[in-house]
Structure 1
Amino acid sequence: MILVTVRRAALGALVAAALAACSDTPAAPPVASATDSLTVNAAAAFTYLALGTPAAVVPVINSATDAGWDMGFFATTVTLNGGAAGPGGVSGYCLRCNDAATNAELQAMTPANQLAAFDSVTTADIPTASAFVTDELAPAIHGWYTGSGATASVTPGKAWIVIEGSGANVVLAKFRVTLITGASATSMGQVSFEFAVQPAPGQPFGAVQTPTVDASGPPVYFDLTTAQVGTAANWDLEFDGWSIRVNGGVSGTGTVKAVVDSTTAFAAIDAAYASTAPPQAFRADGFSGVFGRHPWYRYNITGTDNQIWPTYSVYLVGRGTSVYKVQLTGYYDAAGTPRQVTVRYAKVRN
Structure 2
Amino acid sequence: MKHTQLAFLIALSLGLAACGGSSDDTPVNVDTGVGVDDGTEDTGDETQGSTDEPNDEGTIYGPFSTGSTAEPVAVYFDLDTQSQITLTEEEAAVNTQWDIGFQRTNVFLNTHQEAPVSLYFTGNNADFFDDEGNAIADSFLNATADSELDDYLTVTASDIPDDAEFVSDSETQVIGTTFYNYDTTTHVVSAADDVYYIVSSDDNYTKFHVTDIVTEGYGMGELTLNVMHQSVLDGQTEFAEAVAVSANLVGCTEAAYIDFDLQQTVTASDDWDISIPCSDGAGEFAINLADDASVLRTDAQTYAGVDDAAAAFYGFSSETVSAYAISENNWYYYDSSSHLLYSQFGVYLIKAGDTVFKMQITSYYDEAGTSGNYSFRSDALTAE
Q: Which deviates the most, 320-329 or 282-291? A: 282-291
Distance 1:229 1:112, change over 3 A: farther
Contact between 1:89 and 1:319, CA under 8 Å: does it hold in 2? yes
Distance 1:235 1:127, change over 3 A: same
Residue identity matched to 2:374: V
Residue identity matched to 1:79: F
Contact between 1:67 and 1:87, CA under 8 Å: does it hold in 2? no
Distance in 1 between residues matched to 2:170 and 2:142, nearest whole Å: 33
Q: CA RMSD in A?
A: 4.8
Contact between 2:223 and 2:247, CA under 8 Å: does it hold in 1? yes
State the secondary structure of the residue aligned to 1:202: helix
Aligned-pair CA distance for 1:144: 2.2
Unaligned runs of 5+ in 2: 1-53, 129-135, 260-264, 278-283
Deviations 1:235-279 (A, max 9, x none): 96798x9886757xxxx8x55233545269xxxxxxxx9677872
Taking every aligned residue pair, what percent have the same amino acid on both sides?
21
Aligned-pair CA distance for 1:67: 5.0
Distance in 2 between residues matched to 1:70 and 1:221, nearest whole Å: 41
Distance in 1 between residues matched to 2:126 and 2:60, nearest whole Å: 24
Matched, 1:72 2:107: no
Aligned to 1:59: 87
Contact between 1:238 and 1:246, CA under 8 Å: does it hold in 2? no
Residue identity matched to 1:98: N
Residue identity matched to 1:41: S
Aligned to 1:113: 147
Distance in 2 between residues matched to 1:124 and 1:331, nearest whole Å: 29
Residue identity matched to 2:65: N
Aligned-pair CA distance for 1:151: 4.9
Of structures 1 and 2, the larger Rg is shown by 1
Matched, 1:345 2:374: no
The two structures have a TM-score, normalised by structure 1, of 0.61
Q: Which deviates the most, 136-145 or 220-229? A: 220-229
Distance 1:275 1:288, change over 3 A: closer
The two structures have a TM-score, normalised by structure 2, of 0.57
State the secondary structure of the residue aligned to 1:210: strand
Aligned-pair CA distance for 1:39: 2.6
Distance 1:81 1:227, change over 3 A: farther
Aligned to 2:64: 40
Distance 1:156 1:113, change over 3 A: closer
Aligned-pair CA distance for 1:92: 0.4
Distance 1:345 1:296, change over 3 A: same
Deviations 1:80-122 (A, max 9, x none): 234xx99861110012531441433333321123223323333
Contact between 1:324 and 1:347, CA under 8 Å: does it hold in 2? yes
Matched, 1:294 2:329: yes
Residue identity matched to 2:300: S
Aligned to 2:118: 91
Distance in 2 between residues matched to 1:129 and 1:275, nearest whole Å: 41
Aligned-pair CA distance for 1:211: 5.8
